[in-house]
Amino acid sequence: MEKAKKQKQRNWIQRILLNFTSSKFGAKIASRVLPPIDKIILKRTNNRRSLTSFLSGIPVIVLTTTGAKSGKLRTVPLLGVIKGEDVFLIASNWGQARHPSWYYNLKANPEANLAFGGQEGQYIARNATDTEREAYWAEAVNMYSGYAEYKKRVSTREIPMFILSPKKIVM
């Protein structure tokens, strides 16, 4: 019922594009085209708008990590599930065999910056527990059915999942 409700909120163009990006061919194209365009649009709109959000109806979260090897700041637009103060990120890498670069960055340096909806803050990442994985996975698939397709294609690895919580300032 909830999935049908989410689907009804999307127009027919968004539904077609979501199905396309779920496919192996579509994911390959979208993974190369959307992130660079999103970075530009997000920067110009103070992280309020992105092409991906417009085309899909799904909010985009901007993750800035410290490079695991380079130590340089790395920024990438991602889909994520927002739950209260926490944000759940799925390292599906569009259903590819390898983990995305941001996964290694967060694993090496769990402190990160997140921006979404015009807000920005410092967060600490941790691996999701099995219970959290199960609960958030269902929500993520409800938001974007492509995750289920990615999981089918990825048989050589478990898809990592992170919970990012706001960094508490200690005085």
- Give Cβ neighbours of residue 73 (< 8 Å, ≥ 6 apart): 64, 65, 66, 67
The verdict on residue 71 lying in a domain is yes
pLDDT confidence band for 119 (50 / 70 / 90)? confident
The verdict on residue 171 lying in a domain is no
Percent of the chain with pLDDT over 90: 33
pLDDT tens-digit profile of 53-100? 787 777 789 999 999 999 999 999 998 888 889 999 999 988 888 999
Global confidence as pTM: 0.80
Q: What is the CATH number of the domain that holds 138?
A: 2.30.110.10
Of 4, 8, 38, 5, nearest to 21 (Cα)?
38
Please state, in angstroms and rounded to a whole number, the distance separating the CA atoms of residues 144 and 156. 22
Q: Is residue 7 over pLDDT 50?
A: no
The verdict on residue 121 lying in a domain is yes
The verdict on residue 10 lying in a domain is yes
The verdict on residue 106 lying in a domain is yes
pLDDT confidence band for 160 (50 / 70 / 90)? very high
For the chain, where are the alpha helices, taking DSSP H only?
2-9, 12-22, 24-44, 51-56, 101-108, 130-143, 146-153
Number of structural domains (the chain) is 1
The verdict on residue 64 lying in a domain is yes
* Contact criterion met (CB below 8 Å) for 60 and 38: yes
Q: Is residue 6 over pLDDT 70?
A: no
The verdict on residue 9 lying in a domain is yes
Count of residues in the chain = 171
Tell me what pLDDT residue 170 has: 58
Residue 149, judged by CB atoms within 10 A of its CB (0-12, 13-18, 19+), counts as buried
Tell me what pLDDT residue 143 has: 85
pLDDT confidence band for 116 (50 / 70 / 90)? confident
Range of the domain at 93: 2-166
Q: Is residue 164 over pLDDT 80?
A: yes
The verdict on residue 120 lying in a domain is yes
